[in-house]
Structure 1
């Protein structure tokens, strides 16, 4: 049990934040410059890796959507995307309305400014082979082209490349993220901004948790109205899946429990066995909520201008990118980093703080994702029953 806690990414990030604060407050500048040197190197490496991550995850994910029951696939994908868009847009309006009341850009200076107080001992320039938008367009073009081809040679190549990228994420980037976050918080503490930043963090997490509960409730009210079922009873049946997801932080690992609870809600095994595994991959409304809310918060913290038009494009692109999110803790934010950079202008330091905020709520987002899958299964089952899909 203790070993499991030690290996938990959330625990590592928590320890990294604490150590970063301690180091920044009490260790000399010479030591903090070491972490700042790592910060610069990892930022360059992450910038190089992001286009490759986009290609490696999105190409096979979109290409693989060509197989299976086509009508059922289209119906499920459309509902999942609509749910994700609803989550993203509603989050934007709530966050942009509430967050300014407790986020003061004058008192919470940007991480970028904090990091500039410390200069690295040396830096290495690692230019990416593609810019982010070029990688996105190429990934969509290749993925859409692969979808109707069946088991082609190029599709097999993209799946092999996906395995390499997954290894990069799981074996290199995710393990090094705590050190990266430590370096960011050591810079914040060195600057003397730690109290204001952490105070905002706690408030943001509290608001997002309440929004998650409301999102799940709305999903089941809609599903209950469409399928003419008691939404509260259906939601209560999903509680075991919700708490399993809280513990595992993985939609994929929760699939067996989710299937069992969905069938208790009267969903046919045929629909459940199709929708739940697919939903674990393409329906990440809870993750989308966290990303949009954290993005609004960080832009407010740094005094950056934003508007609905900017976030409208971001939310729609994010809903597609979530299809490519790998099934590991923190996987969704890794799939979203490229879009945060290209569409909202997040620099490396803002991305690191975004990752820290996201991982702090990773369990709740995963639980919201899989619970929402249960609502989608109820809707799809009703549609399949009427249209004999």
Structure 2
């Protein structure tokens, strides 16, 4: 919640400086706008430099560690979590393509370069591109699992620890300044207030879709287990509200585990599925990312919402990359930024809007992720019982 307040403060400062420049013009306010633009350039360059490392180390480490428990339970959990994530993305796409153009009508964003620019250009070229990092991560993770190479496993695990430390201690802390630069540029063109009103409605649609997807998940789990899905969902409310407060799937695991067992899920299934899904099952985050990406494309100039075939490939990639999402606030959008840039052609400005939108609802997305883990555990329990009959 402190991070959210800092981000809001960054938006307020950026809007105040940019709107002041738009109303009054040059002088000291222009200097402030250019200063914030320079900060945005430097900080943004560092953020995007780190994205390939996030994908490489988190996916490789995640795959190399998915070797505990029986093969059937592991396979069922991975498959169901992935299908749930893809289903959530598809729901968001179909709803967003119908709703977002109507919501965003009237919102606008200045074309890149139309606001006062930075004092100088600053770019840190990434060590590798996004797809290279993704392929390398899978290759390393799978080979480490098959060969049980302890040295390489320790290397990717240590890389994950270092990368997560940089995210938590550096990137998350500089985000308010980065966001301030983005909104200062937008406000300096006089478009910010219409756009903020539009994005408020976008976030409301995303939160509604979270609850629609949770209802679908528990309807499936309840039908397989022959239990009342709404009673199961009601039992998970303590986990939902805990995640709202902590903004962390990992911190909510004890509550999620307890409530999942209260739903009658067998202990050994719950004990394995809940901690694993806290890392690999991010259906709520996927809903937000897909919904907001379509909203951003309908507002930003030069973008066109892709057709189903193109977007389906992007959603499949997002489902994979969500395995790499760091367990810190905003981790999912950091991991997904690479896919948005490579698959949808997002620029740094577009990704900046995605980060601001995502962080505004991060607690709701996390709550949906962790509450949905209870449904996944229920489905895995039902599937495992049928397999063993």
Q: Please state which band the TM-score falls in when normalised by the shorter chain.
A: over 0.9
CA drift of 1:126 comes to 1.6
Cα deviation, 1:28-47, whole Å, max 9, x if unaligned, reads 11111001011111222223
Distance 1:115 1:102 in 2: 26
Distance 1:241 1:52 in 2: 31
How many aligned positions are there? 380
Structure 2 residue aligned with 1:108? 107
Distance 1:373 1:282 in 2: 10
Given candidates 296, 316, 321, the residue that maps to 1:298 is: 296
For the residue of structure 2 that corresponds to 1:66, the secondary structure is coil
For the residue of structure 1 that corresponds to 2:147, the secondary structure is coil
What is the CA RMSD across the aligned residues, in angstroms?
1.4
User: Does structure 1 retain, via aligned residues, the 8 Å contact 2:330–2:359?
Assistant: yes
Cα deviation, 1:113-139, whole Å, max 9, x if unaligned, reads 255421211122321121122111111
Distance 1:9 1:202 in 2: 19
Distance 2:194 2:72 in 1: 51
Corresponding position: 1:77 with 2:94: no
Structure 2 residue aligned with 1:42? 43
Cα deviation, 1:57-83, whole Å, max 9, x if unaligned, reads 111112222333221110011011111
Structure 2 residue aligned with 1:370? 370
Distance 2:200 2:155 in 1: 44
Structure 2 residue aligned with 1:334? 334
Alignment of 1:226-241 (within 5 A): 226-241=224-239
Distance 1:168 1:147 in 2: 26
Alignment of 1:80-229 (within 5 A): 80-104=81-105, 107-110=106-109, 113=111, 115-229=113-227
Cα deviation, 1:254-298, whole Å, max 9, x if unaligned, reads 111111111111111111100100111111000000000011100
Structure 2 residue aligned with 1:321? 321
Distance 2:172 2:93 in 1: 28
Structure 1 residue aligned with 2:270? 272
Distance 2:256 2:44 in 1: 38
Q: Which moved more, 1:86-95 or 1:149-158?
A: 149-158
For the residue of structure 2 that corresponds to 1:191, the secondary structure is coil
Structure 2 residue aligned with 1:12? 6
Q: Which moved more, 1:129-138 or 1:252-261?
A: 129-138
User: Does structure 2 retain, via aligned residues, the 8 Å contact 1:115–1:187?
Assistant: no
Alignment of 1:233-272 (within 5 A): 233-272=231-270
Distance 1:136 1:273 in 2: 29
